[in-house]
Structure 1
Amino acid sequence: MSADVKTELTPFDDINVTPMLDLAYVLLVVFIILTTASVQGVKVRSPVTQAANNLAKPQTRAITITADGAVYLDAYPVSMEQLSASLAQYKAANPALPVVLKADATAQYDKVMQVLEVAKKLDITEIGLVTKRAQSE
């Protein structure tokens, strides 16, 4: 007769958690990327122009004017007085303060002029106007 082959079941001493940690790290990275990508500020429809170089420099402050006339400084709603005070503080820290003005195409022209007047009073000369690039035909 043949000898009985005895199979012995041994319990696992440890569980390999490396694949589970790999999955956790991938999910963490995806969560971080999606969270930071979703914070973009206030959405407006920018007017269309042929200008191509509308790049903001580091330390640039963004002023946004929505279609209903609300004014935002770096995605925070502000009044004209608050805008003037905040820009004065930034200007004191950085004399060559660059500012980017991003207004909705249907925004009131008066609001845009008020913001430009605030910048003029504070002697802010580096102002960029954000627009969309026109489609070439």
Structure 2
Amino acid sequence: MAADVKGELQAYDDINVTPMLDLAYVLLVVFIIMTTASVQGVKVNEPKTLAVNNLAKPQTRGITITADGQVYLDAYPVSMDQLRDSLAQYKAANPALPVVLKADAATQYDKVMEVLEIAKRLDITEIGLATKRLQ
């Protein structure tokens, strides 16, 4: 105190960077979480439509069909038999199982119909078709 009274200023010997590092780590964690959350699923060129509905519901299963006809269930490649068996298990656990079908615009129509037939046989009635909004 006596030094301050005489008008002398004392300089800090070091700067505390801990709060700045805490902020950097929090931003890094947020960036990692947001990046991994946005890359789930299989990329396809969806057909375009005027109306787009929000089809996201809890326990929704996603079926994706690529342009070459490969079928994915929740981003995992499956055959039609594996798709039927997996959907039957999900349907047994949740009778009101919601499913979203996302197919590439260049997909052969018969693949889409095969998936819809499997859903019909399993009595899955909540089916959404994912599209992109026309600009």
- The TM-score range, normalised by the shorter chain, is 0.7 to 0.9
Superposed displacement of residue 57, structure 1: 1.7
- Given that 2:52 and 2:131 are in contact with CA atoms closer than 8 Å, whether structure 1 keeps it comes out as no
Give the aligned residue type for 1:126: E
Aligned-partner Cα distance in 1 for 2:131–2:45? 9
Q: Provide the aligned length of Structure 1 versus Structure 2.
A: 125
> What is aligned with 1:6?
none
Q: List alignment gaps of at least 5 residues for structure 2.
A: 1-12
Q: CA RMSD in A?
A: 2.2
Judging changes above 3 Å, is the alpha-carbon distance between structure 1 residues 20 and 133 closer, same or farther for their aligned structure 2 residues? closer
> What is aligned with 1:102?
102
Judging changes above 3 Å, is the alpha-carbon distance between structure 1 residues 131 and 26 closer, same or farther for their aligned structure 2 residues? closer
Give the aligned residue type for 1:83: L
- Given that 1:54 and 1:130 are in contact with CA atoms closer than 8 Å, whether structure 2 keeps it comes out as no
Give the aligned residue type for 1:50: L
> What is aligned with 2:34?
33
Aligned-partner Cα distance in 2 for 1:28–1:67? 35
Does structure 1 residue 56 correspond to structure 2 residue 73? no
Moved more, 54-63 or 98-107: 54-63
Aligned-partner Cα distance in 2 for 1:23–1:109? 49
Q: List alignment gaps of at least 5 residues for structure 1.
A: 1-11
- Given that 1:54 and 1:128 are in contact with CA atoms closer than 8 Å, whether structure 2 keeps it comes out as no
* Runs of 4 or more consecutive aligned structure 1 residues displaced over 3 Å after TM superposition: none
- SS of residue matched to 1:105: coil
- SS of residue matched to 2:43: coil
Percent of pairs identical after alignment? 71
Aligned-partner Cα distance in 1 for 2:57–2:75? 17
> What is aligned with 2:69?
69
- What TM-score do the two structures reach when normalised by structure 1? 0.80
Give the aligned residue type for 1:124: I
Moved more, 70-79 or 39-48: 39-48
Rg larger in 1 or in 2?
Answer: 1
- SS of residue matched to 1:57: coil
